[in-house]
Amino acid sequence: MNKTIYLTLQNTIRQVLSMLFFIIIARYLTTEEFGKYQQLLLIAGMFGVIFSMGIPVAISYFHGQSDSYRKKVSIYKRFFISQLLFVMFGILLFIVSNTLLTSIFNNEYFSDYFILLSIIMITNTSLELFKNLSTVTNNLKYYLFITSIVQLISISINIFIVIYTQNIYYVLLVTAIFNSFLFLFLTKKNLKYFLSNSYTYFINKTETKYIIAMGSVTLISVFNGYIDQLMVSIMLTIDDYSNLKIGAFQIPFIGIITGSLLTVMIPIVSNFYRDQKYNEIVKLWKISMEKASILLIPIVIFCLVFANEIIISFFGDKYIGAVLIFQIYMFQWLRAVVIFAGIMGAIGLEKELFKNTLLIMSLNIILNYILILEFGVIGAAIATTFLNYLGGYLLIKKINIKLNSNFFSYFPYKIYFTSLFLSLFISLILFFMLEIYLVSIWSVIVCAIIFYIIVLSVQMKIFYNEVSYKKLRELI
């Protein structure tokens, strides 16, 4: 599982740096400026993910389907060229629509900074492709080193800019410049694949069908994931949107755990599915959920119990309204131990995933609209969390049929609920003991570290009868 370790390390560095910068801009910018900046990133992120068309995931999938080195290299080249074409089309659409976006969001920065946003969109989308390409070509060490160094420098400069100037333009400029450097470095590293002789320069019919299916799912999934933010931006004020962004703040280690497991699992599951080894898929999936439960559930429970301390100490009193929003959003991560999207694509359920996502998206629009009108920004959080669980339930039914299995045959419910109740018990004890001392960022962080060490140690003793660094590495 060295690949998982490398991915986890890189994701940890990137997300910790991003979290630090997120905290700085939230504290130093006004709620209005913070909201406008986050709206820029929201739309740029949506365009970037949509026009990657699921190609990063497809690289992992078709790599697992191919045995010949020459065929694999051909896949890398075709998919890289295809993604660049998709993204360039997205850039043109973004440039044409920036005036409309300015009007819809009442945010003049879409028109003022559309060139910088276009560069950020291109480079961010390519980074996801390079990550998956590095995974299957065993270049993760280089990817880890170069991305971490460049992002560290970029975010450090941007933190300085925010503290001393509070100027969004300079932040976007620095981000665009360093993202471009990173894109060039990674392109040069993989140039031997992109310049090699291949059977064809463009994706074939089979690959196109898979990419369209997964790209359609990506399109709907991204829109579905941003419905709450989009509707709050349009229906409420920028200050409300700022509270939503703070409330939807995700502790970095949550995405690290699920994302790293998913990236490594996809080519393995795809290979098992090709060989019709359904039992092996179930076993692998169960192991991933066991690890996710042990590592993820304690983080979620701690955030639920210490929500007020986390929001106020990290972002300041001006975001006190985001505490309940944060708790509602954190509740949905209790379901995140079950990884769906990449697994369904790897076992041939792309169409079912698309249908499910389309249904949930439709319900999401309706429910968000109703609940935002009734409860404001809190309604958006409630709608999103409820539909997250409903969508998961419907997907489980489809997977059970495909693998001829049932949910509790692969869901580690004993480990899951033991971790949940153990985490709740220990966090409540710490809360009542230390509540009056948790008045700064550092005190909350120290409390979280102590809590996580205790919970992980107790879990390893319960589940594996061993508390050691070796066992911890096996979990990662």
Per residue in 394-437, pLDDT tens? 888 888 887 777 777 778 888 899 999 999 999 999 988 887 77
**pLDDT, position 378:** 95
| Burial classification of residue 53, based on how many CB atoms lie within 10 Å of its CB (0-12 exposed, 13-18 middle, 19 or more buried) | buried
- Residue 285 covered by a domain: no
pLDDT (average), residues 242-252: 86
Could you tell me how far CA 24 lies from the centroid of its own chain? 21
pLDDT (average), residues 431-452: 84
Tokens coding 269: 């599951």
SS3 assignment, position 125: helix
Tally of CA atoms within 13 A in the half-sphere of 74 that contains its CB: 15
Most confident of 23-27, 140-144, 468-472: 23-27
DSSP state of 334: G
Instruction: Give the count of domains, the chain.
Output: 1
Least confident of 81-85, 92-96, 156-160: 81-85
Most confident of 165-179, 282-296, 337-351, 450-464: 165-179
Reported as a pLDDT band with limits 50, 70 and 90, residue 69 is low
Using the predicted structure, report yes or no on whether residue 191 has a pLDDT greater than 70.
yes
Q: How far is CA 26 from CA 125, 162, 251, in A?
A: 25, 10, 15
- Residue 28 covered by a domain: yes
- Residue 425 covered by a domain: no
**pLDDT, position 1:** 47
**pLDDT, position 441:** 81
**Alpha-carbon gap, residue 47 to 123, rounded angstroms:** 12
**Alpha-carbon gap, residue 453 to 41, rounded angstroms:** 34
DSSP line for 16-85: HHHHHHHHHHHHHS-HHHHHHHHHHHHHHHHHHHHTTTTHHHHHHHHHHH---HHHHHHHHHHHHHHHHH
Reported as a pLDDT band with limits 50, 70 and 90, residue 358 is confident
Instruction: Tell me the residue range of the domain where 184 lies.
Output: 1-203
**pLDDT, position 33:** 93
- Residue 391 covered by a domain: no
pLDDT digits (tens, 9 = 90+) for 273-291: 777 777 777 777 788 888 8
- Residue 358 covered by a domain: no
- Residue 260 covered by a domain: no
Using the predicted structure, report yes or no on whether residue 156 has a pLDDT greater than 70.
yes
- Residue 113 covered by a domain: yes
Using the predicted structure, report yes or no on whether residue 366 has a pLDDT greater than 90.
yes
SS3 assignment, position 166: coil
Alpha carbon dihedral 351, 54, 281, 272, in 10-degree steps, equals 100
Most confident of 113-117, 190-194, 254-258, 282-286: 113-117
pLDDT digits (tens, 9 = 90+) for 16-62: 788 889 999 999 999 999 999 999 988 887 877 777 766 766 766 77
DSSP state of 138: T
- Residue 308 covered by a domain: no
Around Cβ 2, how many Cβ atoms within 10 Å?
Answer: 11
